[in-house]
Structure 1
């Protein structure tokens, strides 16, 4: 009887592991995936979505959870607006970054800072899924039962000082990003899950204010 229960447990665990396991894509699957995402990205003009952010720091026992709204207007306007646990927003608009930390504002001119400009382009591209550039990233492709996954390591040394890997998740049947994971060299990471996403809706220009 003990052997039977042991076998049963092993079978259940094997099924659970195989269900969650990431499998590398074949060359044909990668080509098809890239084409589908590229075609979808050509259609995207705006994204309006809520998000939940999970920050994992090694010395903390629980993830830090934040919630807010993200607005994107291709090619160069991006607003992250955190509503909880505190009010905080970051606006990327053309060649400028504006930060509003509970009323305290700070501005950065990207035209004078190539490093921040690269990070800005990285963020915009990751949210929209326009990142499959093998000149900028070493890319590996995977899939599981529900999602297609692109794992990208920045080749640029300046970027890799801040981000060691970017993981993009695409839900089955969709060719837009549903989740982004930014992994730091320390192995700490930020995971952003998009919910209630709306594509190509009209966004009032006044919304991109900080």
Structure 2
């Protein structure tokens, strides 16, 4: 654990959760750039990709990778639409595991993830961030994800960074930049 991290007090946790939940109720859209860093122990160098992410309440989500390749993943109507440099495919997301992953992604983007039934949650703070650490309780999720860390800047109640730690110890870190909340996003953004 990072030496500068401190556990939040019970009062701080209540106030933090209220702030996040109140703010996420008011979020209709999020448009943001992102940098994704994939760390795998067997590689000497991390894999870095970047792109744009669009979210429209309640559950439209588009991850658009632009560098070093063109790739998009759209979550819409219990389906996942994938466009891999022009090769398009659709996956039915009605399976329980896919539903949970979709809920996780939407929740991590909107910051609305404090589901004690699904996760053991611990709360920390540093000089720059509030950090929630979520450990899945469900065996099917645990197989893939060991822990999810969400970073919230002290002055902003929306997620600025997500770290997904896999059961192997490898991780994916997503850093959001240039975030714009409640701007108009055309529905065509969520078409594959």
Do they superpose with TM above 0.5?
yes
Unaligned runs of 5+ in 2: none
SS in 2 for 1:206: helix
Match of 1:43 among 18, 21, 26: 26
SS in 2 for 1:69: strand
Stretches of 4+ moved more than 2 A in 1? none
Task: Tell me the residue number matched to 2:84.
Answer: 101
TM-score, scaled to structure 1 = 0.89
Task: Tell me the residue number matched to 2:174.
Answer: 192
The equivalences for 1:8-27 within 5 A come to 21-27=4-10
Of Structure 1 and Structure 2, the greater strand share is in 2
SS in 2 for 1:164: strand
The equivalences for 1:146-165 within 5 A come to 146-165=128-147
Query: How many residues of Structure 1 are paired with residues of Structure 2 in the alignment?
Result: 191
Between Structure 1 and Structure 2, whose CA radius of gyration is higher? 1
Task: Tell me the residue number matched to 2:14.
Answer: 31
Query: Are residues 1:130 and 2:112 paired?
Result: yes
TM-score, scaled to structure 2 = 0.97
Unaligned runs of 5+ in 1: 1-17
Of Structure 1 and Structure 2, the greater helix share is in 1
Task: Tell me the residue number matched to 2:50.
Answer: 67
Deviations 1:101-152 (A, max 9, x none): 11111111123x2211111111111111110111110001000111100000
Match of 1:83 among 43, 59, 66: 66
SS in 1 for 2:89: strand
Structure 1: distance between partners of 2:53 and 2:128: 24
Structure 1: distance between partners of 2:8 and 2:144: 28
Structure 2: distance between partners of 1:84 and 1:162: 26
Structure 2: distance between partners of 1:94 and 1:169: 28
